[in-house]
Amino acid sequence: MSFRVDKLPPTLYLYNTWGKIAITYTIYKNKGNMTNMKLSEELKWRGFINQTTYSDIKVIDGEPITFYWGVDPSADSMQAGNFAIAMMIKHFIKHGHKPILLVGGATGIIGDPGGKDVERELKALEVIKNNKASIANQYKKIFGEKGIIQVDNYEWFKDMTYIDFLRTVGKNAPLSQMLGREFVKSRLGSEGSGISYAEFSYSLMQGYDFVHLFKKYGATLQVCGADQWGNCIAGVELIRKMEGGDAHVWSAPLVINKTTGRKFGKSEDGAVWLKEERTSVFRFYQFWLNSGDLDVEDYLKIYTELEKPEIDRVMSEQRKNPGQRPAQKRLALEVTTIVHGAEKAESVKNASEALFGLKDYKDLGKNEYIELARELPIIKAKDGDSLVDILVKGKLASSKTEAKRFLDSSAVYINGSQIPMDMTTLEAKDAIHGYVVVRRGKNESVLVSL
């Protein structure tokens, strides 16, 4: 038997051969995972509104809209900047809108000139092919496959001749409009490096993507980052001229790190990638864990699916215990889970806590040591090897004399514990899952394989 929860009376009566039994009940709602926000309200609250062609943004609160987003395969992975738009798309999907995810196999051959001061170097076709497959897999991991349409614009450009392109697209693109693009003006100015015809035509190719998806799938909206606004408007204009249709663009602002004032998504080592071969899961987790206090609330809104009541609760806890950094810890776990899965997220969380003295190494499982092995320098040793030799071999000391000084001053730790003064060798019994973590001082560690 089933009931509509909102139609149940405050008391239910069940009848059997012994009579009537009254049952009262309470319905509990998980407020942390529920929201009454409409999509326009949620995107505004999360900081996902920059520019849009909609005269009234409340239109996205109505009937389902088929929309698309594209990533060019200039690399074999998306970065943290792309990921912000991906998270915005997840909210569009959650509110019932229908996504098309595009990999720019054709536009990637040319390269997007936007934001570049000089001509892009053309990539080999085989590299682009591999990059496409990698980005398509990232789409699946982030969005799943149910209800998602994936396309590659190489499919509709590969058989289009140059004459076809000029007649169908070029004829409907005013030169004055193309020359007005900011990236074109900057490249053609007195201080600019110039621009090739190929890169100059890039926005027309992207614009035709919109036309194709409008005709085949009924797509009427393109979502993008603020730096793609001009390219997206080209598609709106082409749809109006070629099809007599009405199409729109929704752009999100570029995320700025308030602590540094720089564009978000860069670390000291460069870009933060979603692919673990480029940015290890451990370093990915650490990147979010190291978010500044000025930024963390914004990042929770942008890069997680946590609802407002839960984010408010986390930030309340943050204000009470800022030194414990509960907001950064929650952010790192949530984002790493979305990108790399719950199992790896939990493993790097545990490994990180052990490395920084918040968890006992004995409590770590084999997966956690696998993550440590990917992150820390590894050296091999045998049962009974000298700690002095291990410190030098692991580059925790520059010489045997310095190593002895570190040992004499109790600056050396084994698996998080300060070693006894009389301990001079590493024993097999010290190993956990075949490894020993040797640390000198606060932050210098090496993984010893026994």
What's the CA angle centered on 396, arms 391 and 397, to 5 degrees? 75
Instruction: Tell me what pLDDT residue 38 has.
Output: 96
Instruction: Tell me what pLDDT residue 143 has.
Output: 93
CA distance 413 to 215: 65
CA nearest neighbour of 101 among 131, 67, 76? 67
Other CB atoms within 10 Å distance of the CB of residue 160 = 14
CA distance 90 to 82: 13
Instruction: Tell me what pLDDT residue 268 has.
Output: 56
Instruction: Tell me what pLDDT residue 383 has.
Output: 92
Instruction: Tell me what pLDDT residue 115 has.
Output: 58
Instruction: Tell me what pLDDT residue 219 has.
Output: 98
Report how far apart the first and last C-alpha atoms of the chain are (Å, whole number).
61
CA 87 to each of CA 73, 224, 267, 271, 370: distance values in angstroms, whole numbers, following the listed order: 19, 12, 20, 18, 29
CA 168 to each of CA 204, 254, 340: distance values in angstroms, whole numbers, following the listed order: 11, 33, 42
Instruction: Tell me what pLDDT residue 5 has.
Output: 41
Instruction: Tell me what pLDDT residue 174 has.
Output: 81
- Contacts (Cβ under 8 Å, ≥6 apart) of 329: 289, 349
Segment holding 94, helix H or strand E: helix 80-94
Tens of pLDDT along 344-377? Answer: 999 999 999 998 888 899 999 998 998 899 889 9
- Contacts (Cβ under 8 Å, ≥6 apart) of 117: 186, 187, 192, 193
Instruction: Tell me what pLDDT residue 195 has.
Output: 77
Instruction: Tell me what pLDDT residue 150 has.
Output: 96
Instruction: Tell me what pLDDT residue 256 has.
Output: 86
The residue ranges of the chain whose pLDDT is under 70 are 1-35, 114-120, 180-181, 183, 190-193, 265-269
Tens of pLDDT along 11-62? Answer: 444 444 444 444 444 333 333 344 579 999 999 999 999 999 999 999 999 9
Instruction: Tell me what pLDDT residue 441 has.
Output: 87
